[in-house]
């Protein structure tokens, strides 16, 4: 049972910690809790106004209405929401909290010309409200055009609990593509995190398409540290992408596997295949260019094919003598 004296933000932070412990003890890999950024915190209106002030300082971005109760069935997801997966266990716990204590913080929406509402923040709270059968929910209703609604949604949701590093990367890229930021440093200031953090997350978008397609389905499968191992392996084994993909897919069923496990799997498979590739035999000819021997070398064998015009007994004596001499030289070195 939750503490009724906790704020909703405090509850969600404690809930994230509990879910993280569940993750470590065997929780399914389709959702991993990540810590929110530690940068400066601003209100939604302050973030929008500070961003827009560079182009139009006098323009008012958000026109707020009083907090009101709105019908849950009239609320639609934002098309710019960066989160792609919702953890059902988390939503159920959040729903229990709403039943237990009620709603502390309103969701943020914008009013659409159709009379419906589009979410800016609060996607999980709306889903939790639906799970427990609420028909109404408290909301801060804002008047925003499409561009500022997009910015508000990106900024409001980037720092939320359980947004994965891959989803953050897509959010950062979107901010640059839409002109909300020009550089990684601009992105860091906009979202209240470090430039290094932005670079780390964005590195996931440089992975091969076959790997990114897995992250699209399982965005919390791995973060930038594991992604760096993947990138290094792709450089080391440019022809081994299929094997690397197989190694990454193992993480779906066993999320305890780490980057070292991936490297071991890939090296074991690719180095083994390299050794098993048969080499073309070496042909030894006499002074006139006539073929005398065909020598084929594998990992543990040397196979010599003696041609018909060669005395096999004499050849074998010569080869045995050479091998004895070679064996003697090894003993002397030791």
Mean pLDDT, the chain, rounded, equals: 78
Q: Which of 52-56, 157-161, 280-284 has the lowest mean pLDDT?
A: 52-56
Q: Are 119 and 86 in contact (CB under 8 A)?
A: no
Distance of CA 270 to the CA centre of its chain: 24
pLDDT at residue 33, as a whole number: 34
Residue 6 has pLDDT above 70, yes or no: no
Residue 89 has pLDDT above 90, yes or no: no
What value does the mean pLDDT take over residues 73-87?
84
Q: Average the pLDDT over 86-97 and give the result.
A: 85
Q: Does residue 193 contact residue 40 with C-beta atoms inside 8 Å?
A: no
Q: 256 vs 46, which has greater pLDDT? A: 256
For the cut 60, the answer to whether the pLDDT of residue 49 exceeds it is no
Q: How far apart are CA 249 and CA 251, in angstroms?
A: 5
Q: CA–CA separation, 151 vs 12, rounded Å?
A: 24
Q: Is the pLDDT of residue 178 over 70?
A: yes
| Predicted local distance difference test score (pLDDT) of residue 320 | 87
Instruction: Collect all residues with Cβ–Cβ distance below 8 Å to 129 and sequence separation of at least 6.
Output: 72, 95, 98, 137
Instruction: Give 218-243 pLDDT, tens digit per residue.
Output: 998 999 999 999 999 999 999 999 99
Q: Please state which of the ranges 58-67, 167-176, 225-234 shows the lowest mean pLDDT.
A: 58-67
What are 13's two structure tokens? 């932070």
pLDDT at 4: 47
pTM: 0.58
Q: Whole-angstrom Cα distance, residue 131 to residue 45? A: 30
The size of the chain, in residues, is 334
CB atoms within 10 A of CB 313: 8
Answer with the residue of higher pLDDT: 176 or 48.
176
The percent of residues in the chain predicted with pLDDT above 90, rounded, is 34
Residues with Cβ within 8 Å of 114's Cβ and at least 6 positions away in sequence, in order, are none
Using left for φ > 0, alpha for ψ between -120 and 50, and beta otherwise, residue 31 falls in: beta
Question: With bands split at pLDDT 50, 70 and 90, how would you rate the model's confidence at 60?
Answer: very low
Helices 259-276, 241-253: crossing angle, 10 deg rounding: 140
HEC letters along the chain? CCCCCCCHHHHHHHHHHHHHHHHHCCCCCCCCCCCCCCCCCCCHHHHHHHHHCCCCCCCCCCEECCCEEEEHHHEECCCCCCCCCCCHHHHHHHHHHHHHHCCCCCEEEEECCCCCEEEEECHHHHHHHHHCCCCEEEEEEEECCHHHHHHHHHHHHHCCCCCCHHHHHHHHHHHHHCCCCCCHHHHHHHHCCCHHHHHHHHHHHHCCHHHHHHHHHCCCCCCHHHHHHHHHHHHHCCCCHHHHHHHHHHHHHCCCCCHHHHHHHHHHHHHHHHHHCCCCCEEEECCCCCEEEEEEECCCCEEEEECCCCCHHHHHHHHHHHHHHHHHHHHHHC
How do residues 99-141 score in pLDDT, each as one tens digit?
A: 888 888 898 999 999 999 999 988 889 999 999 999 999 998 9
Query: Residue 102: CB partners within 8 Å, gap ≥ 6?
Result: none
Return the pLDDT at 3. 47
pLDDT for res 280:
75
Q: Specify the CATH architecture of the domain 8-206.
A: Alpha-Beta Complex (3.90)
Could you report the per-residue pLDDT of 277-326, keeping only the tens digit for each? 556 788 888 877 788 888 887 767 888 888 878 888 888 888 888 888 88
Q: Kindly list the domain boundaries of the chain, sorted by start residue.
A: 8-206, 208-277, 282-333
Residue 190 reports pLDDT greater than 60: yes
Could you tell me the two tokens for 202? 């964005």
Residues 238-280: tens digit of each pLDDT: 999 999 999 999 999 998 899 999 999 999 988 865 555 556 7
């Amino acid at each position: 049972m939750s503490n009724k004296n906790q704020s909703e933000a405090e509850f969600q932070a404690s809930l994230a910690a509990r879910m993280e412990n569940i993750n470590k003890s065997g929780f399914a890999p389709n959702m991993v809790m990540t810590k929110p950024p530690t940068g400066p915190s601003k209100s939604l209106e302050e973030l929008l106004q500070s961003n827009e002030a560079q182009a139009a300082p006098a323009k008012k971005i958000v026109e707020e209405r009083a907090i009101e109760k709105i019908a849950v069935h009239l609320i639609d997801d934002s098309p710019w929401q960066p989160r792609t997966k919702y953890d059902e266990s988390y939503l159920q716990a959040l729903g229990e909290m709403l039943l237990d204590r009620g709603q502390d913080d309103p969701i943020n929406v914008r009013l659409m010309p159709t009379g419906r509402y589009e979410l800016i923040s609060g996607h999980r709270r709306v889903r939790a409200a639906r799970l427990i059968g609420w028909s109404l929910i408290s909301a801060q209703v804002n008047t925003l055009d499409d561009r500022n609604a997009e910015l508000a949604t990106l900024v409001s949701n980037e720092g939320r609990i359980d947004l994965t590093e891959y989803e953050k990367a897509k959010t950062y890229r979107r901010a640059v593509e839409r002109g909300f930021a020009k550089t990684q440093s601009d992105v860091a200031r906009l979202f209240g995190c470090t430039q290094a953090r932005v670079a780390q997350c964005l590195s996931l978008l440089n992975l091969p398409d076959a790997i990114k397609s897995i992250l699209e389905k399982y965005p919390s499968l791995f973060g930038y540290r594991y992604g760096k191992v993947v990138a290094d392996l792709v450089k080391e084994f440019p022809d081994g992408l299929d094997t690397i993909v197989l190694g990454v897919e193992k993480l779906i069923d066993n999320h305890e596997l780490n980057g070292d496990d991936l490297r071991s799997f890939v090296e074991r498979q690719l180095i083994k295949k390299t050794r098993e590739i048969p080499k073309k035999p070496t042909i030894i000819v006499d002074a006139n260019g006539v073929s005398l021997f065909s020598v084929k070398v594998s990992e543990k064998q040397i196979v010599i094919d003696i041609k018909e015009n060669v005395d096999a007994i004499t050849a074998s004596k010569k080869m045995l003598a050479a091998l004895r001499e070679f064996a003697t030289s090894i003993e002397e070195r030791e």
